[in-house]
Each structure stands twice: as structure tokens, then as C-alpha cells.
């Protein structure tokens, strides 16, 4: 056994000091070498901030530093430094800031201080280099192909979300055939997981001077990959370019589009300041090895950070941090808007009204859009936090007496399970008709209209009330009979499936005791309640729990989405306590 490795770190003089790495030049086969400089963040040398994916965290590589010290590093950081070194002018060192080298990760106090000033570290860098991994799977060819597609695909599609399903989509007549190997290379580039990591996302947003590198190849436009994804969503490119759900457990499709939107908002020509709640909502799809980093990675960007008085504290558990964060958000702006970030399943043990920002389910954001609804009428939020309870003014509307099967699995693919989908539709329609025969729907609409409107939340892609043209789309779905169906029928059936997925992928059909038909959270059961909360455009499902309720999620109840609750003779304002 050799002598113990000397630590390369000496203490930082103040919480606003940083270290930068001067990376020595070298040939690709030579070991990494460099030296650390200690400097003030308010007057640093010219440096670049490196953003990269940590990967497994296992440190199988190393870099030799001054005084003979050796620092173990991960394979991913080793790859990044090797390629950065090759990109530097011949014989010259490259000065970079890389968290795993420039922060003493074993010193918890220093780690917290450095994470607290991360926004300044990246913001003051000469540029941010986002390294998305080494050259592999023909990535250089994929980058060139993406640029070619960006130049030549000038027309955008009809705005429907074909990209949610790899079996759907249109192919532009001038595009190369899908057998072209460049499509495979580009799909592999999209599947690189750097975009799903919350710290990579945070660092992507902090500096106007941003360079993406794949191997030693620079990607000329920071938005190139996300732009390709968006063009698939809008049917300008084949939907098979995007991964299927089983290939994309990290929701890379949503992460890439979220990165584009966030960077455009934060650093666009109209500089936008976002609250912590807004940042958490928009960055919900991103992932972190440490769930606390879902909050800490965006805290430095939050316009209300000082008002919330949240500090980076790695001695706090993730559960405690999420509860404190949610409470402070509600206290700073007393609304029930935070409920929209609560998904149908949680990984952490939390009060039902506290979002679990550590997990994500694809497509969840689209289900919460509410511009086309006004279930609360002209009421305003009345909300307060009492310990771990959320008290909200509202009204208990009705009791659920019937729930159907989960809707989402029947709309994963248009071409798979056509007969099964039709059988499911018929079964659900018959059961709802049977329920309404006993408890008539309080309205004069025919049951079939109530049925298809509820499936799509009675709204279009643009959040407008669906017209009778959508019944034609529903009828086309019933007529669709696989690959032999006419093109017009196929297109119409696809459009209706898209509408169902957007609104109801995590819902199930339900009937209430007063005969209302709705789409409720997939976790809802018979005997659960539907409620209206003041100031909120949607309705919600809750479950009785002692003196209060467990929050289940937002719901659509046909006939009660435009203030009708307030006009009903049974309306009674009350305080609803969510446990």
C-alpha cells in the first residue's frame, strides 16, 4: 500500500471565495494534470464554468494536482476534462470551474456555502460549457443532421402532440427515409440523459454565453436539440424520432422542451423573474440523485428567495425540506395553486397537499392547464397553513358513487389494441348510461355528448370549449379499424386520442351521487368527494381522513366547470382541511 493521498484542499477564506482549476495541456493519452487557484468571486480570473452529468458517482479516474496530490473523479468528469483539454489552444492551459474538483465535497459547511452562490459562479463565468458526453453512437453525424433538419424543415405542423406516441406522426415528403442511419444517431443524441439532471438544467440557465459540447464537437445553437423535439411534437418531423415511454424513463422529451422554455424566459429579450414555486413547477420533470437538490438547484434563481428565507441545509431531510418549502410558498402567496404540482403518486412520505418534487410522470403538466375553466366563479383564494395542514375555503360538491378503469392505458397507441379500446369505450359508456338511468344527469345533454366531452375535458388543444367537430373525431375513433382505415379517419381518430391523452392520461371516468359525470384522478375511489376550492379554476377530488381530507388531485366534472357550484341551492361555503 502506498502513502496516503494528500488532500488538495485548504480552507476557503470566506463563503464568497472559490477555487478554479487551471487544466494543463496534454495529449489525449496523457493523464490529467492541473492546479487549483484560490480567488475571490467578485474579482476572479477569466474562467469557464463546466456543466456535466455526474453519472454513477463512482470515482474510478483521477487528476493530479499541485504538491503531488491526486483527486479521484468520475468517468463522466474525466471525459469532459479530456475533451475540454483537446479543444484548448495548443499548449495552453484551460481555466475551468467544475464542482467536483473546486468544492471540497467532504466539507458539508463549504458545500452548503458554495451551493448557495452557484448562480453567481455560473453567472460570472466567461462562458458555461454544457458537456453532454463523449463522442459515441455517431453523435457528430447526428449533430450535423439536426442542423440540416433545422434548416430545411421550415413548416410547422398542426400543433397536436404526436410526439407523445412513437407510432404516430407524419413524415415530410422531402425528408430522408426512416431507414437512413442518421435518424438512429439523432434519436440516440436525444436520449442522452444530461438534460434530465436538475443541476445540469440549473447551470444551463445561468449565463447568456452558453456552449454545448459533445465530445470535442461544439453544438452551434444551444436550442438545437430541444428545437428538434418541439418539431416532432408539432408533426414537422416523424414521431418515431422520439423515444417510446419505455425508452424514456427520465422524461427527456419534456426535460428538453422545459429547458428551452425556461432559458427563453429567464435570459430572453424580456427578462423574466420567476418565483421559487414557478421554478419548481417548470423544472418538475428534472431528476436529482439527492431529492433535496430539486429545491436547492433552483433556489438561487428564485426572485423571492430572500422573502422566503430558505437556506441550503443538507442536514435537513428531503421530507422536512419539502414541507417547509411548500408552507413558505403558501404563506408568501396564500393560494391553493401549489396543489397543481401534486401528482397522482409520491415517492416520499408527505402531507397530501405538499408536492413531491422528486418524482415526475410524463404529461402531468398538460393535465393541469385550466384557462378554459372557471369552476370557482369570481371567488378568491382563502388559504392558510396550520402546521402540516392546509386549510382552504371552498365547498364539498358531491360524492363519487362509481369509478371506471384508468383511461391512460387505453390511449398509449392508436394502432395497438384497436378492438380492446373500442370494447373499453363501449363498456364505460354502457356503465355510465346505467348509472345515469338511476341518477339522471342534471341537464338536457344526451349521454353520448357528455361521454366524449368528459373524456377530453371538453377542451381543445388551445384550451377552448370543444365544438361538435370533436364528436366527429370521436366517431372516427369508433370507425377506425387499423392500418386499412382511410387516411382521413386515421387522422381524425389520432386527433381525438391526442385530446384524451392530454387531459385524461391519469384519470378515470366517474359518476357522482347527484348524477354528474366526470373524469377524476386515477387514485380516486367510490365514496371519495369532489370539492370546489375558492380561486381555483378546476375541481378537486379528496378522501375523508379523520376530521379533514386527503388530497387526491384535480378533476373535471361535466356541467360544473363554469361557476355553477356557486349558483346551486346546495352550495355551502366551508373550510376544507387537507392533511
DSSP characters for 93-144? -EEEE-HHHHS-TT-HHHHHHHHHTHHHHHHTSSEEEEE---S-TTHHHHHH
Distance, in Å, from the CA atom of 481 to the CA atom of 511, rounded to the nearest integer, reads 30
Q: What is the pLDDT of residue 267?
A: 83
Tell me what pLDDT residue 246 has: 78
Query: CA separation (Å) from 349 to 352, 356, 362, 542, 578?
Result: 9, 9, 21, 18, 15
Whole-angstrom distance, CA of residue 59 vs CA of residue 5: 15
Q: How far apart are CA 495 and CA 507, in angstroms?
A: 19
Domain range list for the chain: 17-131, 389-578
Nearest-angstrom CA–CA distance, 122 and 206:
6
Each residue of 341-397: pLDDT tens digit?
999 999 999 999 999 999 998 888 777 777 889 999 999 999 999 999 999 999 999
| The pLDDT of residue 172 is above 70 | no
| Alpha carbon distance 429, 412 (integer Å) | 20
Say how far apart CA 461 and CA 442 lie, in whole Å. Answer: 27
Q: What are phi and psi of 21, to 5 degrees?
A: -100, 125
What is the Cα–Cα distance from 339 to 354, expressed in whole angstroms? Answer: 7
Does the reported pTM lie above 0.75?
Answer: yes
End-to-end CA distance of the chain: give it in Å, rounded.
57
pLDDT score recorded for residue 234: 79
| pLDDT, tens only, 446-476 | 899 999 999 999 999 888 999 999 999 999 9
Strands (E), 103-253: 127-131, 210-214, 217-219
Amino acid at each position: 500500500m502506498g502513502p496516503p493521498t494528500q488532500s488538495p484542499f485548504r480552507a476557503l477564506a470566506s463563503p464568497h471565495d472559490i477555487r478554479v482549476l487551471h487544466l494543463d495541456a496534454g495529449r489525449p493519452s496523457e493523464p490529467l494534470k492541473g492546479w487549483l487557484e484560490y480567488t475571490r468571486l467578485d474579482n476572479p480570473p477569466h474562467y469557464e464554468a463546466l456543466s456535466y452529468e455526474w453519472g454513477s458517482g463512482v470515482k474510478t479516474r483521477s487528476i493530479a494536482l499541485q504538491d503531488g496530490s491526486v483527486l479521484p473523479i468520475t468517468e463522466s468528469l474525466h471525459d469532459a476534462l479530456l475533451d475540454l483539454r483537446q479543444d484548448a489552444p495548443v499548449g495552453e492551459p484551460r481555466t475551468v470551474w467544475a464542482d467536483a474538483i473546486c468544492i471540497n465535497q467532504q466539507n458539508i459547511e463549504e458545500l452548503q456555502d458554495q451551493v448557495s452562490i452557484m448562480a453567481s459562479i455560473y453567472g460570472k463565468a466567461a462562458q458555461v460549457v454544457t458537456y453532454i458526453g463523449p463522442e459515441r453512437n455517431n453523435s457528430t453525424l447526428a449533430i450535423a443532421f439536426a442542423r440540416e433538419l433545422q434548416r430545411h424543415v421550415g413548416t410547422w405542423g398542426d400543433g397536436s402532440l404526436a410526439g407523445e406516441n412513437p407510432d404516430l406522426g407524419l413524415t415530410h415528403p422531402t425528408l430522408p427515409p426512416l431507414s437512413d442511419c442518421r435518424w438512429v444517431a439523432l434519436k440516440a443524441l436525444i436520449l442522452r440523459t444530461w438534460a434530465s439532471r436538475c443541476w445540469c438544467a440549473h447551470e444551463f440557465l445561468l449565463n447568456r454565453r452558453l456552449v454545448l459540447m459533445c465530445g470535442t464537437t461544439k453544438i452551434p445553437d444551444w436550442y438545437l436539440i430541444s428545437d428538434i423535439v418541439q418539431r416532432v411534437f408539432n408533426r414537422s418531423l416523424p414521431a418515431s424520432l422520439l423515444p417510446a415511454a419505455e425508452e424514456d424513463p427520465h422524461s427527456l422529451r419534456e426535460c428538453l422542451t422545459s429547458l428551452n422554455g425556461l432559458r427563453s424566459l429567464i435570459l430572453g429579450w424580456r427578462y423574466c423573474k420567476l418565483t421559487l414555486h414557478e421554478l419548481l413547477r417548470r423544472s418538475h420533470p428534472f431528476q436529482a440523485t439527492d431529492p433535496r437538490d430539486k429545491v436547492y438547484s433552483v433556489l438561487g434563481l428564485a426572485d423571492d428567495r430572500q422573502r422566503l428565507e430558505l437556506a441550503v441545509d443538507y442536514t435537513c431531510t428531503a421530507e422536512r425540506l419539502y414541507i417547509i418549502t411548500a408552507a413558505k410558498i403558501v404563506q408568501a402567496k396564500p393560494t391553493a395553486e401549489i396543489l397543481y404540482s401534486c401528482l397522482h403518486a409520491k415517492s416520499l412520505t408527505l402531507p397530501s397537499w405538499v408536492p413531491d418534487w422528486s418524482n415526475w410522470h410524463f404529461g402531468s403538466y398538460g393535465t393541469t392547464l385550466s384557462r378554459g375553466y372557471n369552476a370557482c366563479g369570481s371567488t378568491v383564494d382563502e388559504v392558510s397553513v396550520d402546521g402540516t395542514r392546509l386549510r382552504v375555503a371552498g365547498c364539498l360538491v358531491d360524492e363519487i358513487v362509481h369509478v371506471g378503469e384508468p383511461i391512460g392505458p387505453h390511449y398509449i397507441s392508436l394502432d395497438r389494441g384497436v378492438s380492446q379500446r373500442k370494447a373499453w369505450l363501449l363498456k364505460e359508456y354502457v356503465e355510465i348510461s346505467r348509472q345515469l338511468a338511476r341518477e339522471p344527469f342534471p341537464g338536457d345533454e344526451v349521454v353520448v355528448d357528455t361521454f366524449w366531452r368528459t373524456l377530453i375535458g371538453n377542451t381543445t388543444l388551445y384550451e377552448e370549449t370543444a365544438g361538435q367537430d370533436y364528436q366527429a373525431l370521436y366517431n372516427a375513433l369508433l370507425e377506425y379499424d387499423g392500418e386499412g382505415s382511410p387516411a382521413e379517419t386515421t387522422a381524425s381518430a389520432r386527433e381525438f386520442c391526442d385530446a384524451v391523452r392530454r387531459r385524461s392520461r391519469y384519470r378515470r371516468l366517474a359518476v357522482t351521487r347527484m348524477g354528474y359525470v366526470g373524469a377524476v384522478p386515477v387514485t380516486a375511489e367510490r365514496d371519495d368527494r369532489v370539492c370546489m376550492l375558492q380561486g381555483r379554476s378546476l375541481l378537486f377530488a379528496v378522501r375523508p381522513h379523520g376530521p379533514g381530507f386527503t388530497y387526491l388531485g384535480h378533476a373535471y366534472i361535466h356541467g360544473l366547470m363554469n361557476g355553477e357550484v356557486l349558483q346551486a341551492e346546495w352550495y355551502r361555503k366551508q373550510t376544507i382541511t387537507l392533511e
